[in-house]
Structure 1
Amino acid sequence: MGLTMEAPTWPAITDDEAAAVLAEFPAIARIERLRWHSPRPFSAATLIDTASGTVLLKRHDRRVRSVAGLSEEHDFIAHLAAAGAPVPEVMLTADGASVVATGEWTYELHRQGAGDDLYRDRLSWTPFRSSGHAHAAGIALAQLHRASYGYDRPARVAQPLVASFSILPAADPLAATEAYVRAHPALGSFLAGRAWRPELQSLFAALGDGLAAMLADQPPLWTHNDWHPSNLLWSRDGLVATVFDFGLADRTCAVHDLATAIERSTIAWLRLGQGADDMIADPKAVRSLIAGYTSVLPLAPAALETVVRLVPLVHLEFALSEVAYFAGVLGDFDAASLAWDQYLLGHADWFMSAPGQDFLARIGTAGNA
């Protein structure tokens, strides 16, 4: 939530731990070294050089990702790979499983994707380096959506840290939020005693009026739901070479994923409240992102309008999921409060400010750029 790097939440994967897990995968040869450890907060991961190439080993707490939860992601990745999408190969054990479960942990293993990790050392919510990168990311997002066609699995079961899509499409979003809270007991415990219903009702009244009817016209689609530049690997000519990290993937719709990409990657959220709130958004990057997207999948004016209307609230369900994760899995109530106050409410509040309203008005013309 700030401009400084935080210590990783989960302990780093050790050499012995990696060796024990990789022994389950017959296609992987001898480990040479653990090259890099991810600083990201929701899991532990390491790049491992082996005699048969570089792989990424990722470890999760079972309360965050069960075998079934990871298998949902891997099934979607397999569909995308079969459709020609540039996704990393999910490695299989000798028994044909894509997940190894040991004690309190679950593990997944991927071959390193093609391309350079140009944003690896940047903080989350870091905007694109250039309009060219934004344009290329828009192309890649549309291509991923096209590859997703035909994947008709139902939405994922309730679990932490998934960008689900049950509240904004509901005719009564507050009632849908109450149902969401009931399905996530740690979230309910955190919210007990808070005046959260009036806070959300105010947001829905100001930013969500008529949104459910607009979303009713959007066909369901399994989507990435975490589209930002640090989840992409880049070729030397500035194109997207690999798309990875499908941990938030779920059944939403294409406009939801495009709105998420705008919200995650064209606004410098970590600078919010630092004295220049009118300078944190980049409408030019949005225009480039949408231009790239529509060069592959044209957007009707009504769909573009839906994207713009979604942007201020598109983070809602993942923010709720973060609150549940921090409060329920980590027992970190300060972080849960930050996720509620600064992420869920704070981001939405910015869109109701003069700079936020100006940004929405300017991106509403992106389809005509």
Structure 2
Amino acid sequence: MSHPPHLAHGWNDAPMAPDWPPLRADEAAAVLVRFPSLSSPLQLRWHSPRPFSAAARVACAQGEVFLKRHHVRVRSAAQLAEEHAFIAHLRAHGLPVPRVLTDAGGHSAIALGEWTYEVHALAAGLDLYRDAPSWTPPLSAAHARSAGRMLARLHLAARDYAAPARSTALLVTGDAVLRASDPLAAIAQSCAQRPDLAAALATRDWAQELAPLLPALGALQPRLAALPTCWTHGDWHVSNLLWDGPGARAGVAAILDFGLCAPTFALLDLATAIERNAIAWLQPDPATRAVFPEIACALLAGYAELLPLSMADVALVADLLPLAHLDFALSELEYFHAVLRQPAMAAVAWRDFLLGHFAWFAQPQAQALLQAIRGAG
């Protein structure tokens, strides 16, 4: 019996070969043997189509677990433990996040050769968006409203989490450039600390190409300077949530995937949620790309049920939207250039993601979306 090749979510709604080889049964066994509470794996039941790592649901005699593998250049054990510490804090504050399992030595991040592994208990709830790529809209405004409410719960629980900044900038949500009074100087400073980013930018006239973004960044900076830092999810899309029922009125039952979490600020996380859920980025033609203002407004309304938003807050979310992706896009450029060594994908990350997303907000439908958001304040 043959099995179809494992594919991952790609750009422009086209499945593509995964960044990393799928998990194997013998590999899963070598990891799970370290966990006294688990037996040898019986079956790998589902491979995740998400990029940046390899993951699968693994059946053991005690039930299923979620096994995820990272290349050590993307996440070391120490860097992965930073995510686990935030998850543990949220669980302690009553947030519905899956339990991260620990091995016989009490470690939640397992380093084996060139790979780093983590094992999660399955979260409760229905995975209604299991096959939905990020940047696809929710099935209903009610789903978006529940997602906004849960995001506010997360931000409330994160207020007293005081861990230091992430020890990596690779594939995490950041705000160093976004908040900088001199964004180009901030990028140059990042290049001095991140030689792989410097190499990715070396063949580009990056300062000149980023010039169109500078006025919008300059208008944002005074308003961002005083905003308090808090740890944020960084990738708030409905595919990273589980649901308490199958219908359009279902509510969020669990929160998944903290791989991009980092200390930024709450309104950036909210703007990122709108960017991920309310714009059809996978439609390739910018002129006809759909927007979903009702989804954006529902996210805002759900969030405001627990954390009220002033008119200035809502206006800031709208102004953040064209730039919310900036720091992450730089890290994605670095990933494709230096880790995967895929110059074509690095070009996509730079041209279509970093520069293209900002430029698209000049389109009429993008301006209409921003106006709808401002009108929700």
TM range, smaller chain: over 0.9
Q: What corresponds to 1:175 in structure 2?
A: 185
Q: What corresponds to 1:51 in structure 2?
A: 61
Structure 2 CA distance, aligned partners of 1:193 and 1:47? Answer: 41
Q: What corresponds to 2:7 in structure 1?
A: none
Structure 2 CA distance, aligned partners of 1:322 and 1:10? Answer: 15
Q: What corresponds to 1:13 in structure 2?
A: 23
- 1:92 matches 2:102: yes
Question: 1:223-253 deviations in whole A, cap 9, x for unaligned?
Answer: 0010011111111051111101111000001
Q: What corresponds to 1:231 in structure 2?
A: 240
Query: Contact 2:297–2:372 at 8 Å: present in 1 too?
Result: no
- TM-score, length-normalised on structure 1? 0.96
Of 295, 298, 309, 1:285 maps to: 295
- 1:39 matches 2:52: no
User: Match for 1:298: what amino acid?
Assistant: P
- 1:247 matches 2:256: no
Question: 1:5-50 deviations in whole A, cap 9, x for unaligned?
Answer: 1121211111111011001111223422111011222000010122
Q: What corresponds to 1:189 in structure 2?
A: 199
From the superposition, tell whether residues 358 and 274 of structure 1 become closer, same or farther in structure 2 (CA, over 3 Å): closer
Of 333, 346, 352, 1:323 maps to: 333
Q: Which moved more, 1:255-264 or 1:117-126?
A: 117-126
Query: Contact 1:5–1:123 at 8 Å: present in 2 too?
Result: no
- 1:25 matches 2:25: no
Q: Which moved more, 1:173-182 or 1:305-314?
A: 173-182
Q: What corresponds to 2:6 in structure 1?
A: none
Question: Offset of 1:192 from its aligned partner?
Answer: 1.4
Question: 1:318-341 deviations in whole A, cap 9, x for unaligned?
Answer: 111110000000100000000000
Question: Offset of 1:196 from its aligned partner?
Answer: 1.0
Please list, as runs of the form range in 1=range in 2, the aligned pairs for 1:178-217 lying within 5 A after superposition: 178-205=188-215, 207-217=216-226
- TM-score, length-normalised on structure 2? 0.94
Structure 1 CA distance, aligned partners of 2:367 and 2:206? Answer: 24
User: Match for 2:294: what amino acid?
Assistant: K
Kindly report structure 1 stretches of 4+ aligned residues shifted beyond 4 Å: none
Structure 1 CA distance, aligned partners of 2:187 and 2:267? Answer: 21
Question: 1:160-206 deviations in whole A, cap 9, x for unaligned?
Answer: 2111111111111121122223332222212213221022122121x
Identity over aligned residues, as a percent? Answer: 49
Gaps of at least 5 residues in structure 1 are none
User: Match for 1:257: what amino acid?
Assistant: D
Structure 1 CA distance, aligned partners of 2:307 and 2:234? Answer: 18
- 1:101 matches 2:111: yes
Aligned residues: 364
Please list, as runs of the form range in 1=range in 2, the aligned pairs for 1:340-351 lying within 5 A after superposition: 340-351=350-361
Structure 2 CA distance, aligned partners of 1:226 and 1:336? Answer: 20
Query: Contact 2:12–2:284 at 8 Å: present in 1 too?
Result: no
Gaps of at least 5 residues in structure 2 are 1-10
> 3-state SS of the aligned residue for 2:355?
helix
User: Match for 2:354: what amino acid?
Assistant: L
Structure 1 CA distance, aligned partners of 2:195 and 2:78? Answer: 20
Structure 2 CA distance, aligned partners of 1:95 and 1:77? Answer: 19
